[in-house]
Amino acid sequence: MDNQSDAAIADLVIRLCDQMQSIFVFIQAQPEEPLGATLKVLNHLLRSKNKIYSVAVMGSNLLAERLMNTLLEKYGREDSTDKIKTRIREFALA
């Protein structure tokens, strides 16, 4: 989903996350873009911290970074697409 998605998509993503045992969160952030319905999903994920395997943020958005930074050991900024792909592979193999 992206920041332009409506609330119905956010609700669907939340229901899917509730069904998962482990979640990899990838945020491609833009500094000037509002989070929109994505904020609802991020807040829900923060209430389900035990399910989050890893969080990767590419780009910059102060609000998204502040929210995800609360996951300290699972959070990481990545500026390289190759590093993101490596983290996704690690998640898939875990």
Question: 3-state DSSP call for residue 57?
Answer: strand
- Rounded Cα distance between 43 and 27, Å, is 14
The residue extents of the domains of the chain are 7-93
| Token pair recorded at residue 29 | 């952030």
Neighbouring C-beta atoms of residue 60, cutoff 10 Å: 13
Q: What is the pLDDT of residue 86?
A: 93
User: What is the reported pLDDT for 78?
Assistant: 84
pTM of the model: 0.79
22 contacts: CB under 8 Å, gap ≥ 6: 51, 52, 53, 91, 94
For the chain, the average pLDDT equals 87
pLDDT at 8: 94
Predicted pLDDT of residue 91:
93
pLDDT band at 44 (very low <50, low <70, confident <90, very high): very high
Whether the per-residue pLDDT at 72 is higher than 80: the answer is no
Q: Which DSSP symbol is given to 21? A: S
